[in-house]
Amino acid sequence: MQILTLENESLRQKANPIKKIGPEYVQIAKELVETLHAGEGIGLAGPQVGLQERIFAVHVEGDIPRIFINPSIIETSQETVKFEEGCLSVPGVYTNVIRSKAVKVQAWNEKGRPFTIEADGILARVILHEYDHLDGILFIDRIPEQKRDRILAKMDKAAQKKRA
């Protein structure tokens, strides 16, 4: 799987629900996790690799890799935390993002089994970050507009330099 970057318009599209979780999702899940490890990330959503489906993988230190298919956020904490985030689709950019400290999610795994998870800390942050990807939202959309514009201008300048 190849990770798409910011200039790819499909990152801004809302992903489609998966109608039937068949055996092919075991392989898709395996490839998502392998790709996220290769990119040295801790989360990767289907849209980031060109799959316009509601699936993502997370693997935070000290936990097992987890696959979320057709996830629904049941609740988020009112308490929020500011923490630095980055994204495999926005390489080289790291900035503070405010998110809920905890989240409760219902989803299915790659074998079609439903589960509910309550997470806090880094796991909650990664789940919320990847969930955003399913709705075409990038972490830079969650920062003040002026700061986002500066980041995008800097990235554009670097891309033009690279092409020259």
Active site residues: 130
Output the six-digit token pair for 26: 């075991």
According to DSSP, residue 89 is labeled: T
Distances (CA, A) of 66 to 45, 159, 160: 12, 34, 37
d(CA 89, CA 133): 10
Contact 126, 41 (CB under 8 A): no
